[in-house]
Structure 1
Amino acid sequence: MPDHVHQSHPEITARLKRANGHLSKVIAMLEGQEPCVDIAQQLFAVEKAITNAKRILIHDHIDHCLSTEFNNGNSNTEDFKTITKYL
Protein backbone atom coordinates (compact mmCIF):
# COMPACT_ATOMS: atom_id res chain seq x y z
CA MET A 1 0.00 0.00 0.00
CA PRO A 2 1.43 3.42 -0.91
CA ASP A 3 2.46 5.66 1.95
CA HIS A 4 0.90 8.74 0.41
CA VAL A 5 -2.62 9.67 -0.63
CA HIS A 6 -3.40 11.40 -3.90
CA GLN A 7 -6.46 13.54 -3.41
CA SER A 8 -6.80 13.90 -7.18
CA HIS A 9 -7.33 10.18 -7.82
CA PRO A 10 -11.13 10.20 -7.20
CA GLU A 11 -11.47 13.07 -9.69
CA ILE A 12 -9.28 11.25 -12.21
CA THR A 13 -11.30 8.08 -11.73
CA ALA A 14 -14.54 9.98 -12.36
CA ARG A 15 -13.11 11.53 -15.53
CA LEU A 16 -11.95 8.15 -16.81
CA LYS A 17 -15.35 6.60 -16.09
CA ARG A 18 -16.93 9.37 -18.18
CA ALA A 19 -14.40 8.69 -20.93
CA ASN A 20 -15.28 5.01 -20.74
CA GLY A 21 -18.96 5.90 -21.16
CA HIS A 22 -18.16 8.05 -24.18
CA LEU A 23 -16.04 5.27 -25.66
CA SER A 24 -18.85 2.75 -25.22
CA LYS A 25 -21.13 5.21 -26.99
CA VAL A 26 -18.64 5.50 -29.88
CA ILE A 27 -18.55 1.73 -30.30
CA ALA A 28 -22.36 1.57 -30.31
CA MET A 29 -22.51 4.42 -32.81
CA LEU A 30 -20.06 2.65 -35.12
CA GLU A 31 -22.03 -0.57 -34.89
CA GLY A 32 -25.23 1.39 -35.52
CA GLN A 33 -23.78 3.08 -38.62
CA GLU A 34 -24.39 6.55 -37.20
CA PRO A 35 -23.05 9.63 -39.01
CA CYS A 36 -19.27 10.08 -38.96
CA VAL A 37 -19.56 13.66 -37.69
CA ASP A 38 -21.45 12.45 -34.62
CA ILE A 39 -18.91 9.67 -34.03
CA ALA A 40 -16.03 12.12 -34.38
CA GLN A 41 -17.67 14.39 -31.79
CA GLN A 42 -17.89 11.51 -29.32
CA LEU A 43 -14.28 10.50 -30.02
CA PHE A 44 -13.24 14.08 -29.32
CA ALA A 45 -15.02 13.86 -25.95
CA VAL A 46 -13.13 10.63 -25.14
CA GLU A 47 -9.82 12.18 -26.11
CA LYS A 48 -10.48 15.35 -24.10
CA ALA A 49 -11.51 13.41 -20.98
CA ILE A 50 -8.40 11.24 -21.09
CA THR A 51 -6.12 14.21 -21.78
CA ASN A 52 -7.57 16.10 -18.82
CA ALA A 53 -7.24 13.08 -16.53
CA LYS A 54 -3.63 12.63 -17.58
CA ARG A 55 -2.87 16.30 -17.01
CA ILE A 56 -4.36 16.22 -13.52
CA LEU A 57 -2.37 13.08 -12.66
CA ILE A 58 0.92 14.53 -13.88
CA HIS A 59 0.39 17.89 -12.19
CA ASP A 60 -0.52 16.10 -8.97
CA HIS A 61 2.65 14.03 -9.18
CA ILE A 62 4.78 17.11 -9.78
CA ASP A 63 3.08 19.11 -7.03
CA HIS A 64 3.05 16.46 -4.34
CA CYS A 65 5.64 13.80 -5.07
CA LEU A 66 8.44 15.63 -6.80
CA SER A 67 8.13 18.88 -4.86
CA THR A 68 8.18 16.93 -1.58
CA GLU A 69 11.29 15.07 -2.67
CA PHE A 70 12.91 18.31 -3.79
CA ASN A 71 12.06 20.07 -0.53
CA ASN A 72 13.56 17.16 1.39
CA GLY A 73 16.81 17.51 -0.56
CA ASN A 74 16.15 14.46 -2.72
CA SER A 75 16.08 16.13 -6.11
CA ASN A 76 14.98 13.46 -8.57
CA THR A 77 15.41 15.08 -11.96
CA GLU A 78 15.19 11.73 -13.72
CA ASP A 79 11.68 11.13 -12.37
CA PHE A 80 10.73 14.66 -13.41
CA LYS A 81 12.04 14.07 -16.95
CA THR A 82 10.21 10.77 -17.14
CA ILE A 83 6.82 12.11 -16.05
CA THR A 84 6.99 15.20 -18.29
CA LYS A 85 7.43 13.11 -21.42
CA TYR A 86 3.79 12.12 -20.99
CA LEU A 87 2.51 15.70 -21.14
Structure 2
Amino acid sequence: MTDHIHESHPEIAKRLKRAEGHLRSVIAMMEEHRACVDIAQQLHAVEKAISTAKRALIQDHIDHCLEDAVGKEGRAQRASMDEFKTITKYL
Protein backbone atom coordinates (compact mmCIF):
# COMPACT_ATOMS: atom_id res chain seq x y z
CA MET A 1 0.00 0.00 0.00
CA THR A 2 1.38 3.41 -0.94
CA ASP A 3 0.92 6.55 1.10
CA HIS A 4 -1.76 8.90 -0.16
CA ILE A 5 -0.80 12.08 1.62
CA HIS A 6 -1.69 15.38 0.02
CA GLU A 7 -1.39 18.96 1.17
CA SER A 8 -5.18 19.18 1.53
CA HIS A 9 -5.50 16.22 3.92
CA PRO A 10 -4.74 18.14 7.14
CA GLU A 11 -7.37 20.76 6.24
CA ILE A 12 -9.90 18.06 5.38
CA ALA A 13 -9.16 16.29 8.68
CA LYS A 14 -9.67 19.59 10.50
CA ARG A 15 -13.08 20.00 8.84
CA LEU A 16 -14.07 16.46 9.80
CA LYS A 17 -12.98 16.98 13.41
CA ARG A 18 -15.10 20.12 13.52
CA ALA A 19 -18.05 18.15 12.12
CA GLU A 20 -17.41 15.46 14.72
CA GLY A 21 -17.68 18.08 17.47
CA HIS A 22 -20.91 19.39 16.00
CA LEU A 23 -22.30 15.87 15.81
CA ARG A 24 -21.53 15.34 19.50
CA SER A 25 -23.42 18.57 20.18
CA VAL A 26 -26.39 17.28 18.20
CA ILE A 27 -26.44 14.09 20.26
CA ALA A 28 -26.35 16.16 23.44
CA MET A 29 -29.19 18.31 22.13
CA MET A 30 -31.27 15.18 21.57
CA GLU A 31 -30.49 13.89 25.04
CA GLU A 32 -31.52 17.27 26.45
CA HIS A 33 -34.82 17.08 24.53
CA ARG A 34 -34.12 20.25 22.57
CA ALA A 35 -36.47 21.45 19.85
CA CYS A 36 -36.51 19.27 16.72
CA VAL A 37 -36.08 22.33 14.50
CA ASP A 38 -32.84 23.23 16.30
CA ILE A 39 -31.59 19.66 16.06
CA ALA A 40 -32.46 19.43 12.35
CA GLN A 41 -30.63 22.69 11.69
CA GLN A 42 -27.50 21.40 13.39
CA LEU A 43 -27.73 18.05 11.61
CA HIS A 44 -27.93 19.93 8.33
CA ALA A 45 -24.72 21.78 9.24
CA VAL A 46 -22.97 18.49 10.08
CA GLU A 47 -24.12 16.93 6.83
CA LYS A 48 -22.93 19.94 4.84
CA ALA A 49 -19.51 19.88 6.55
CA ILE A 50 -19.03 16.19 5.76
CA SER A 51 -20.19 16.69 2.18
CA THR A 52 -17.73 19.56 1.73
CA ALA A 53 -14.90 17.43 3.11
CA LYS A 54 -15.83 14.56 0.78
CA ARG A 55 -15.91 16.88 -2.22
CA ALA A 56 -12.50 18.34 -1.31
CA LEU A 57 -11.02 14.85 -0.96
CA ILE A 58 -12.39 13.73 -4.33
CA GLN A 59 -11.20 16.89 -6.09
CA ASP A 60 -7.76 16.50 -4.51
CA HIS A 61 -7.61 12.88 -5.65
CA ILE A 62 -8.49 13.89 -9.20
CA ASP A 63 -5.97 16.73 -9.19
CA HIS A 64 -3.07 14.69 -7.81
CA CYS A 65 -3.63 10.98 -8.33
CA LEU A 66 -5.62 10.65 -11.52
CA GLU A 67 -3.76 13.31 -13.43
CA ASP A 68 -0.43 11.80 -12.40
CA ALA A 69 -1.63 8.37 -13.54
CA VAL A 70 -2.87 9.68 -16.89
CA GLY A 71 0.27 11.71 -17.54
CA LYS A 72 0.60 14.31 -20.23
CA GLU A 73 -2.53 14.49 -22.29
CA GLY A 74 -3.60 15.79 -25.63
CA ARG A 75 -6.20 18.54 -25.99
CA ALA A 76 -9.14 16.08 -26.31
CA GLN A 77 -8.12 14.13 -23.21
CA ARG A 78 -7.54 17.37 -21.29
CA ALA A 79 -11.09 18.51 -22.14
CA SER A 80 -12.47 15.18 -20.92
CA MET A 81 -10.54 15.43 -17.64
CA ASP A 82 -11.72 19.01 -17.11
CA GLU A 83 -15.31 17.98 -17.74
CA PHE A 84 -14.92 15.08 -15.31
CA LYS A 85 -13.58 17.46 -12.64
CA THR A 86 -16.51 19.80 -13.19
CA ILE A 87 -19.17 17.11 -12.90
CA THR A 88 -17.67 15.68 -9.71
CA LYS A 89 -18.45 18.96 -7.99
CA TYR A 90 -22.06 17.82 -7.97
CA LEU A 91 -21.38 14.68 -5.94
- When normalised by structure 1's length, the TM-score is 0.78
Distance 1:55 1:36, change over 3 A: same
Name the SS for the 2:34 alignment partner: coil
Residue in structure 1 matched with residue 10 of structure 2 by the alignment: 10
Q: How does 1:53-64 map to 2 (within 5 A)?
A: 53-64=53-64
Structure 2 unaligned regions, length at least 5: 74-83
Structure 1 unaligned regions, length at least 5: 74-79
* RMSD value, Cα: 1.9
- How far does residue 38 in structure 1 lie from its aligned partner after superposition? 0.5
- How far does residue 5 in structure 1 lie from its aligned partner after superposition? 3.0
Larger relative contact order (CA 8 Å, sep ≥ 6): 2
Name the SS for the 2:25 alignment partner: helix
Aligned residues: 76
- How far does residue 2 in structure 1 lie from its aligned partner after superposition? 3.4
What is the distance in 2 between the residues matched to 1:6 and 1:70?
18
What is the distance in 2 between the residues matched to 1:54 and 1:71?
25
Residue in structure 2 matched with residue 20 of structure 1 by the alignment: 20
Give the partner amino acid of 1:8. S
What is the distance in 1 between the residues matched to 2:20 and 2:40?
15
- When normalised by structure 2's length, the TM-score is 0.75
Superimposed CA distance per residue, residues 7-63 of structure 1 (whole angstroms, 9 cap, x where no aligned partner): 110011010001101100000000000001110111011001100000000000000
Give the partner amino acid of 1:18. R
